Structure 1
Amino acid sequence: MARVRYGARTERETAATRAASARLSDLWSTEVVAVWETDPDAVAAVLPRPLKPTARPLVRATISRADLRGQPLGAGSFAVAAAHGPVDGWYPLVMPTTRERALTGGREVFGEPEKLGEVTVERDGLVVRASMARHGIAFVEVRGAVSGPLPLPGPVRRTAFSFKFLPAVNGRGFDGDPLLVHCEHHERARRLERVTGDVVLRESVYDPVADFPVRRLLEITIGEKTRDRRGRVVERVDPRALLPFLHQRYDDDPLQALDAPPAATGSRYGGGGA
């Protein structure tokens, strides 16, 4: 009988898979990052306990494009600054990706808010455009022109917070207590440049990032970067604290459609680069 591929793998095959994963070579990506100050009340409103706002109400939009075994991979993150006890980090609200394998790994392993979407990073000479889109709406667009090189930073460690959970089978609450995860990103850059430009946030009932307007644009950069990440569970979370934020993870469009988006449709713009 031919091998049934859904059947159990042997211990040797499982061990070989783990070893191959540990030997993955550096994956370098072209990455556009925009950071700005926004409405502090908006940031505070989206943080489930035990996360709290930091001293500055910051938003970080990261949009990257890489080549993975000959296939393009796009990934994005829209995150707000947050703190868990003494640890400052970022709490992503939406992380579009172009590949299902990246989505399932991020959501099932780390509890990240990964969703399938369109991610674009384009550079034509000095002109840069990057965007995250879902349901036909480019809800974040970063655009501008390269205005000069930046010194390469040393290795950077950045913490992202996420909640790993399973919605209950009966539709009420969770099956088990949700887990708060610290995901440590270790990043290196081999090229980094300053971009002078702006950030456009478009209204979307699925990805309502327009609620975080650009009050003061701090920086836009484009670079070539590589990173690895390691996650760890730091505590169990009171389900009652997380349940009101469950809609952040899913396209709860029947309810979000009742959220009454701003009457003025179209775009909200950020000013020139810092």
Structure 2
Amino acid sequence: MGYRRTAEEIAAIRTTLSGVEFVGGESLSVDFLTHPGTVRAILPAELEPGDEPRLTAQVSRWRSNCVGDFAASAVYVSAQDEGVTGDYVLTMFMNSDMPLLFGRDLYGEPKKLGSSTIHRNDGHMTGVLARHGHELIRIEADLGEDRGPREVLGRNYNVKYDLAPDGSGLIGSPTLMRAEFAQHTTVLRTGPASLTLGGTVHDPLHELEILEQRDAVYVETGMRASCEVVGAMDAAEFFPLALGRSDYWPALVSARLPTHS
């Protein structure tokens, strides 16, 4: 019976989730600097800003050994925890439900549904994220020559938490998570780019002011993923950020029950 897993199925699931691999990846990203005060405001109190107020906008597509094929986009914030550097995941978008559920349930990633596309025309690449008819990220890049293979260790910070049913706070303490991605990059190309951030009341990427923009980075890569618990967090401090990870509920009202005198 599929709704109650057998011991053999549980063992197979554990094997899959402890040996996560994302392969055949193509990623187009752009780093940019913003105001230090903005970075401090969007990072959890337990994380310190990185060496510079850097954010990264990324559009990508992947294959996997656990959630099928998918396209994704994200915005990352440079951060550190007790000297261990990484990127805090500010927001993330998947084009299907399985990678969304995987990332939210296991790693605490702030995922929503969105449409991500990458198009290549010789050395020119375009990466676009759209959601509910609104374009949120557009990257246009002219890429140079391939700079060869390399090994890279990526590190992301996320938060797992439970929202109270009436939205009044969090149940218990949030948990700071640290994910690591051991990447084998086969192609790396960089070049000048333009980055445009759009926004809505639900996804206010347009509020992230771009003060200085770096070149685009395009990679073809595969990676093995792992994740660990860092520690408990302050629930009251994180609560406003937790609500910022969701759509703005008051703007989603489509009907009300009639009032009776």
TM-score, normalised with respect to structure 1: 0.84
Please report how far the alpha carbon of residue 130 of structure 1 lies from its aligned counterpart in structure 2 after TM superposition.
0.2
Q: State the partner residue of 1:224.
A: 220
Please report how far the alpha carbon of residue 106 of structure 1 lies from its aligned counterpart in structure 2 after TM superposition.
0.5
Please report how far the alpha carbon of residue 213 of structure 1 lies from its aligned counterpart in structure 2 after TM superposition.
2.4
Q: Within 2, Cα distance between the matches of 1:232 and 1:23?
A: 14
Unaligned runs of 5+ in 1: 257-274
Q: Within 1, Cα distance between the matches of 2:232 and 2:72?
A: 28
Match of 2:165 among 153, 163, 169: 169
Encode CA deviations 1:177-223: one digit per residue, 9 max, x unaligned. 11111111211101111132211111322211122222222221112
Q: Is the partner of 1:62 in helix, strand or coil? A: strand
Classify 1:16/1:203 alpha carbon distance in 2 versus 1 (closer, same or farther; 3 Å). Answer: closer
Correspondence 1:130 to 2:165: no
Encode CA deviations 1:91-113: one digit per residue, 9 max, x unaligned. 11111011201001111111110
Q: State the partner residue of 1:143.
A: 140
Q: Within 1, Cα distance between the matches of 2:250 and 2:208?
A: 22
Q: State the partner residue of 2:211.
A: 215
- Asked whether the equivalents of residues 20 and 224 of structure 2 are also in contact (C-alpha less than 8 Å), the reply is no
Q: Is the partner of 1:247 in helix, strand or coil? A: helix
Q: State the partner residue of 2:30.
A: 34
Q: 1:181-196 alignment to 2 at 5 Å? A: 181-196=177-192
Q: Within 2, Cα distance between the matches of 1:68 and 1:184?
A: 16
Q: State the partner residue of 1:248.
A: 244
- Asked whether the equivalents of residues 31 and 62 of structure 1 are also in contact (C-alpha less than 8 Å), the reply is yes
Q: Within 2, Cα distance between the matches of 1:40 and 1:24?
A: 35
Encode CA deviations 1:27-73: one digit per residue, 9 max, x unaligned. 1111111111122221111112111212201011121113459x751
Q: Within 1, Cα distance between the matches of 2:64 and 2:84?
A: 32
Please report how far the alpha carbon of residue 253 of structure 1 lies from its aligned counterpart in structure 2 after TM superposition.
4.9
Match of 2:91 among 94, 106, 109: 94
Bigger Cα displacement from structure 2, 246-255 vs 134-143 = 246-255
Aligned-pair RMSD on alpha carbons? 2.2
Q: Within 2, Cα distance between the matches of 1:25 and 1:229?
A: 6
Look up the equivalent residue of 2:111 and give its one-letter code. E
Encode CA deviations 1:234-266: one digit per residue, 9 max, x unaligned. 11111111112122220015379xxxxxxxxxx
- Asked whether the equivalents of residues 72 and 116 of structure 2 are also in contact (C-alpha less than 8 Å), the reply is yes
Q: Within 2, Cα distance between the matches of 1:168 and 1:161?
A: 23
Classify 1:60/1:26 alpha carbon distance in 2 versus 1 (closer, same or farther; 3 Å). Answer: closer
Q: Within 1, Cα distance between the matches of 2:89 and 2:173?
A: 20
Correspondence 1:49 to 2:45: yes
Q: Within 1, Cα distance between the matches of 2:24 and 2:77?
A: 25
Q: State the partner residue of 1:81.
A: 78
Q: Within 1, Cα distance between the matches of 2:113 and 2:45?
A: 27
Q: Within 1, Cα distance between the matches of 2:101 and 2:57?
A: 21
Percent identical among aligned pairs is: 26
Match of 2:115 among 115, 118, 121: 118
Classify 1:202/1:23 alpha carbon distance in 2 versus 1 (closer, same or farther; 3 Å). Answer: closer
Aligned residues: 251
Q: Within 2, Cα distance between the matches of 1:25 and 1:105?
A: 13
Q: Is the partner of 1:79 in helix, strand or coil? A: strand
Look up the equivalent residue of 2:126 and give its one-letter code. R
Classify 1:184/1:125 alpha carbon distance in 2 versus 1 (closer, same or farther; 3 Å). Answer: same
- Asked whether the equivalents of residues 21 and 223 of structure 2 are also in contact (C-alpha less than 8 Å), the reply is no
